[in-house]
Amino acid sequence: MAIAIKPPRWQRPRAQEWREWVEGYLFASPFIIGFLVFVAYPMAYSLWLAFQRWDGIPLTPARFIGLANFQKALTNENAVLSLYNTAYYTFLAVPFQLIISFVLALALTQNMRFRDLYRAGFYMPIIVPAVASAMVWQRVFHQDFGILNEALGWFGIPAQKWLFDPSLAKPAFIFMSFWMIGRQMVIFIAGLGNIPQTLLEAASLDGANAWQKLRHVTIPMMTPLIFYNMVIAIVNSFQIFIPAKIMTDGGPQNATLFMVLNIYRQGFQSFDLGYAAALAWELFVIVIGFTIAQFYLSNRWVYYEVEK
């Protein structure tokens, strides 16, 4: 049977080469058009808007004010507070999320009864809509009728004003974030299943105990997935909005005024669209900066197996 071999590009007729080029871009056109319309254009427009003062009314022309919006984003009291609240939430929630999800993955890769049921149970909160989840947790943290305070009462701990106490509001949000670790857990479970058993057996032959195998074999082999989950978790935590908007609306005393909620207030409540755009670009630069820093530092601790 004859096999048709595609001639090299330099031997093809120019009309055929042009047709392949057009077909390729036609197949890619849905993505290209979607990216230009829904990503590139809004980003470019928001960057232009960050240098303007405009209230969003079409009849009112925008007025160029230079870097005033960016200066306000770096010095305004609420802007600085929202940055602090977001950083506080991120740098406390993400490490605990990674640790808990990794421990759960280790436990749920062992031979046990109903293992698949446990895996499904821990993953199920991921598919719950964010609004419904926020409403449920608002009830959980209720001072008088909340399940959490009722459980603490069993140990003699008095009821706490979780969402009404400035010192407890952010820890409450951090505790609530553990509800959504199912995605990280599933990724860790997949990675643990790909660790070569020969490495663990070799470590056992060398006299390594369970802790030593975990420290010197399992964790180094899992560092690429730990790095991936950490990057995604930090990006997501900087964008926390729905729980804060529904549960506390930034209160009490702006203790849960996170950056995205502050952007929403400035843009859609105060109608200061230029300032809101400057805040959005500040958030973008911070997230990109942290991501680049993580990729740079990953060379020091992330282990990639290389086949020779």
Domains of the chain: 68-130+175-298 (1.10.3720.10)
CA distance 279 to 260: 9
pLDDT in tens, 64-90: 999 999 999 999 999 999 999 999 999
pLDDT band at 183 (very low <50, low <70, confident <90, very high): very high
Nearest CA to 176 among 118, 105, 243? 243
- 10-30: average pLDDT: 82
* Alpha-carbon distance values, 164 to 142, 144, 160, 169, 172 (Å): 9, 12, 9, 7, 10
Q: What percent of the chain has pLDDT over 90?
A: 75
Judged against a pLDDT cut of 60, whether residue 308 lies above it is answered with no
Q: What percent of the chain has pLDDT over 70?
A: 94
pLDDT band at 226 (very low <50, low <70, confident <90, very high): very high
Please give the full DSSP string across 88-116, using - where no structure is assigned. Answer: HHHHHHHHHHHHHHHHHHHHTTS--TTHH
pLDDT in tens, 25-51: 999 999 999 999 999 999 999 999 999
pTM for this prediction: 0.88
Judged against a pLDDT cut of 60, whether residue 9 lies above it is answered with no
CA distance 123 to 108: 12
